[in-house]
Amino acid sequence: MATASVSGSREKELWRRLGEVNDPELDEPITEMGFVEHVAVTDDGGVQVDFRLPTYWCSPTFAFLMLDGVRKALDQLSWSPAYRVKLHDHMFAEEVNRGIQAGKAFGEIFGELAGALDLAGLKETFAIKAFKRRQEAVLRGLRQHGLTDRDILAMDLPAYDVARFEPGEAAKQKPRYRAALLERFPDRQADDPVFVTWEGQGIPVGALGAHLAELRGVRVNMEFNGALCRGLKQTRYKELDVVDGELTLVDFIMNRVPARAAPTA
């Protein structure tokens, strides 16, 4: 019984850590996106994670960033297990799997292919989008609670922390925006305004409507891409479920699916 209890608590911790890893473009946890297909904690405490993306040709940059995030999450597990992380059904699966297992950086894995990519710049672009999306959700939530624009924009961190929302997007994004704010501005004082631009500028009361309109554009784009990813993954693996064996999207492209498995009209 004690062994089962330990295994159960370790699996809960494992899922919690994996839930802290985001799709970098969508700012959604990889667990909610369905990219983590299978996890296991073995009898000796080892960890296995199987990972799949919506398409065979998903950006290798995104694949690396997510799996590097998984690697860092596993390194934080309380029992320091040996682990194996495996990306399936991707055009660079072998390269990424070998590189992640060896602890290599992106440039070491992809060599010349990575030469022209500004990975730091890409990460900053994703961080900006996440910051804006999270901020917009909280701002809308506060407006819906009846706070005036002046009250919202005067809010400091102590006031922000005691604000409460009903379950929903604002409640979900409230701690995530706080984390993004303090990561972006680690030296902020408790009485500094909570709602500022990515550049750290204050938002004039009369400009909040226009500011929200800009943030809405970011959110709509991210939500569309997220819905597209979920739809592609659902369609891809719903089709794979009707055939025996470990087929990949390449099998469909190359017409290697048995006739008996072809979808009916």
Residue count of the chain: 265
Element (DSSP H or E) covering residue 66: helix 60-75
pLDDT (0 to 100) of residue 110: 80
Please determine, for residue 169, whether its predicted confidence score (pLDDT) is greater than 70.
yes
CA-CA distance, 212 to 165, in Å (whole number)?
A: 19
What is the model's pLDDT at position 161? 97
8 A C-beta contact, residue 175 and residue 133: no
Tokens of 114: 């990575």
> Quick one: pLDDT at residue 192?
97
pLDDT tens profile 51-81? 999 999 898 889 989 999 999 999 999 999 9
128 pLDDT tier (thresholds 50, 70, 90): very high
Stretch (H or E) spanning 52? strand 47-52
pLDDT at 256 over 60: no
Query: What is the CATH T-level fold of the domain 2-114, as seen in this structure?
Result: GMP Synthetase; Chain A, domain 3 (3.30.300)
Separation in Å, CA 70 to CA 28, 159, 177, 218: 14, 34, 21, 26
Confidence of residue 113 (pLDDT cuts 50, 70, 90): low
pLDDT of residue 109: 85
- The segment(s) of the chain belonging to CATH 3.30.300.130 are 2-114
Higher-confidence position of 54 and 244: 54
